[in-house]
Each structure stands twice: as C-alpha cells, then as structure tokens.
Amino acid sequence: MNKGILVTAAGTGINLMLGVLYSWSVIKKALVAQGWSNTQAALPYTIACAVFAIIMVFAGRLQDQIGPRKVATVGGILIGSGMILGGLITSLPGLIISFGILAGTGIGLGYAAATPAAVKWFDPEKKGLITGIVVSGFGLASVYISPLTTWFLNHFGLERTFIYLGMIFLVITVILAQLLTDPPADYRATGATGKTSKISVDFTWQEMLKTSRFYLLWLMFAFSASAGLMVIGHITTIAKDQANWEKGFWLVALLAIFNASGRILAGLVSDRIGRVNTMLLVFLAGGVNMLLFGTYHTIGSMAIGTAIAGLAYGALLSLFPSATADYYGTKNLGVNYGLVFTAWGIGGVFGPLLAGKVVDLTGSYLLAYKISAVLLGGAVVLALLLKIPRYVLAKA
C-alpha cells in the first residue's frame, strides 16, 4: 500500500476516535435529566473545546519537531484516561478535570498529529481533498459514538459509559498512532503526470503572525465555528424543545454524516474553485440556516436544518487547514494551523455557552440563532477581504 494512503487512513481512524467530543450532546441530556442546568452541563464540553484549541498550538509545534507518532500516542493515552476518570468522578469539578482538561488535551494532541502527517505525502493541489478525508473522521465519529453512548447509558449508566468509552478510545488510538509518519526530508510528492510538485512558501509561526491574512483567517474561523458548535452541543435538547422529539440523538448521527461529508466536499470543491469562493458559499448557507432554525418545528424540517448546519460546519475543518497550508506552507503546518485553530476554541466556548445561557434565561434558542447568523454575516464580509494566493516556489 502507498505510504501516503496508509498514513491518511490511520489519521482518519484516529479522528474517528477523537470525535468522542461530539458525543457530549447525548451525555449532556443525561446530566440535565439528573438535575444539572443547561449551563452546567455544557461546561465540561466547553472547556474541552477550549483546551483542545490551546493544546493544538503546542501539539502542532511538538509534532513538527518529534514527529506525529509520539504525539498521537500520548494523545490516545490522555483521552482514554480522561474518559475513564470521568466515570470515577462524575461531579461538575470531576468532569471539568477529566473530560474538559485531560480528554481535551488528548484530543488536541491526536488531532494536531493526524492532518499534517497525511498532507505532507501528497501533491499541493490535493491538499484540500486529503485534509477533508482525514478530518472527516472526526465529524463522522458521532454516527457510531452517539448510538453507542446512548446504548451504554441505557444499559450501564453514566459512570460505566465513560469508563467503557475510555477503554475503547485508548486502545484503538494508540494502535493507529504507530502508523503515523512524516515523509523523508528529501521526499517530493508527484502528481498524475509524474512531475515534481511545486513547493509553497514555508513561513515560521513568527512570520505568519506578522501577516494580516492570519488575523482575517482567525476571525472568520471564530465567527463561523460558533454556530456549528452551538448546534452540535445542543441538538438533542433543541429537538426536544422545538419538535417535541425525544429521540434527538438520531440527529447527532445525521449531523455527523453531513459534518463529515462537508469536510470532504469542501476540500474537493475548494481545490477547484478556490478556498475563498468555497468559504463564501459555506458562510452564506450557514447564516441563512441559522436565521431559519427557529422555524423548524417538525422532525423533517429539523433534519434538513441539522444537515445544512453539519455541512457548513464540517466544511470549516477542511477549508481552514488547507488555506493555512496555501498561505504558509506545509513544513510548519502543525504549529501554524494550531495558532489558527485557537479561533475554533473561541467558537467552542462562545457558541455552546451562549446557547445554554440564552435558553436558561429566555426558555428558547431564538436569540442564539440570530447572534450566530450575524457572526456568519461578519465572516462573509471578512472573506471578501481575503484572497488565497497561487502556489509559489519556496523561499531561497
């Protein structure tokens, strides 16, 4: 098997494990049923998102230096241990430490290692597609994690659910991590014609921070991620409140399918029509969907809205790493994208907490939808200021 394909498959598999983050919608519902407020139940998930984003910076730099295998291995150990500890201490402080900090750190380490390792094996013109395939695993995870978590909760209770999930994720992630390797220093990917690909400019993180494009990318990512993460973290509760549907966990699986599809589709499309054009389409579709989300009161309309939200959100996780590689090269992609990814952490804090606080104060999500639509509108404006450059030769 081609080495690049093997690394891509391993990275996708690791992300399938790391997608445990998206099972929180099901876990949150169980916590609320035990008497937790919506804000309390959203807090461990919110902290996990923030820690995930912060760790990505350090993990990205670390994997650039020591390689993806070691970083992903430690990530697998931490996420598994964090989940197991969560089953032993299910208080709010306990879940903040176990799920929010330990598992969040593990997710950041694993995620930072998977994509750069795969992208480095392929032609620059395939960056979007390869990135989309690898990160699709993270989005697709809820297809199996949500029903599996629900089954564990129904048969074993909350504590054992955490423990069993932790054992599964620890073992599989550590095994797959051993397959992650960077190409040799003199490796050059070739396209279908057999010609050596061009090399994009390789910026250090210090050089990247001196460019205005970094800040445009960062703000666009923060604005657009908040809407998707809000829906992901609350969809089962939204389904119950707006459509009076108790089986909203199926929407988590539906969202995951379109989340994963959006990553691959956006990567493929953006390789052809450009990152900015694809971003504009994604932001516009997401914004209109948020404006309409409060009108979804049937299972059918809720499913359509969830699918669009999944597509729009999933596209972000393909577009922004690809755009970062376009602008700043692949040599330091781990740390460079880690810095861009901190914007996702802001969205992960703002979106779910905003929704939890709004519903606690007003009894509905309507205001949260409107704020999310405004943020996506802001991302449209910022995208119009951004132009992705063509590939150029590396600096002399």
- 190 in a structural domain: no
Domain co-membership, 170 together with 217: no
364-377 pLDDT, tens digit per residue, is 888 888 888 999 99
pLDDT at 393: 34
CA distance 166 to 88: 12
pLDDT at 1: 56
CA distance 310 to 312: 6
Structure tokens at 308: 């669009």
CA distance 322 to 266: 10
- 194 in a structural domain: no
pLDDT at 215: 94
Kindly write down the DSSP assignment for every residue of 15-45, as one continuous string: HHHHGGGGGHHHHHHHHHHTT--HHHHHHHH
pLDDT at 4: 87
Phi and psi at residue 194, to the nearest 5°: 85, 0
Residue 80: which CATH number? 1.20.1250.20
pLDDT at 387: 64
CA distance 219 to 222: 5
12-71 pLDDT, tens digit per residue, is 999 999 888 767 778 888 888 888 887 888 889 889 888 888 898 899 889 888 989 999
CB 166 within 8 A of CB 87: yes
Domain co-membership, 240 together with 356: yes
CB 238 within 8 A of CB 359: no
Give the amino acid at 312: A
CA distance 276 to 270: 8
90-131 pLDDT, tens digit per residue, is 899 999 999 999 999 999 999 989 988 888 888 877 888 898
Domain co-membership, 174 together with 213: no
Kindly write down the DSSP assignment for every residue of 175-244, as one continuous string: HHHTT--PPPTT---B-TT-PBPP------HHHHTTSHHHHHHHHHHHHHHHHHHHHHHHHHHHHHHHH-
pLDDT at 194: 42
Sign of CA dihedral 4, 123, 280, 348: positive
pLDDT at 390: 46
CA distance 343 to 334: 15
Domain co-membership, 210 together with 157: no
pLDDT at 356: 76
Q: Give the range of the structural domain holding residue 13, as residue numbers without chain letter.
A: 3-179
CA distance 136 to 19: 10
Q: Which residue is it, tokens 């930072």?
A: 112
Domain co-membership, 254 together with 383: yes
- 264 in a structural domain: yes
pLDDT tens-place values along the chain, 396 residues long: 578 899 999 999 999 998 887 677 788 888 888 888 878 888 898 898 888 888 988 998 898 889 899 999 999 999 999 999 999 988 999 999 999 999 999 999 999 899 888 888 888 778 888 989 998 888 788 778 878 888 999 999 989 999 999 999 999 999 999 999 988 877 766 554 444 344 457 899 999 999 999 999 999 999 998 877 777 767 878 888 888 887 776 787 788 889 889 999 999 999 899 899 999 999 999 999 999 998 998 889 989 999 999 899 999 999 999 999 888 988 888 889 989 988 987 887 777 777 778 878 888 888 888 888 999 999 999 999 886 554 433 333
Kindly write down the DSSP assignment for every residue of 358-371, as one continuous string: HHHHHSSSHHHHHH
CB 75 within 8 A of CB 158: no
CA distance 22 to 14: 14
Q: How many domains does the chain have?
A: 2
CA distance 115 to 328: 15
Percent of the chain with pLDDT over 90: 44
Domain co-membership, 211 together with 314: yes
Longest dimension (CA), the chain: 62
Beta strands in the chain (DSSP E): none
Please write down the long-range contacts of 320-325, taking CB distance under 8 Å and 24 or more positions apart: 320/217, 320/220, 320/221, 321/115, 321/119, 321/131, 321/135, 322/127, 322/128, 322/131, 322/132, 322/267, 322/270, 322/275, 323/217, 323/275, 323/279, 323/388, 324/217, 325/119, 325/124, 325/127, 325/131, 325/200
CB 132 within 8 A of CB 318: yes
Domain co-membership, 72 together with 168: yes
Instruction: Using the 3D structure, point to which of 179, 197, 231 is the last residue of a domain.
Output: 179
pLDDT at 361: 83
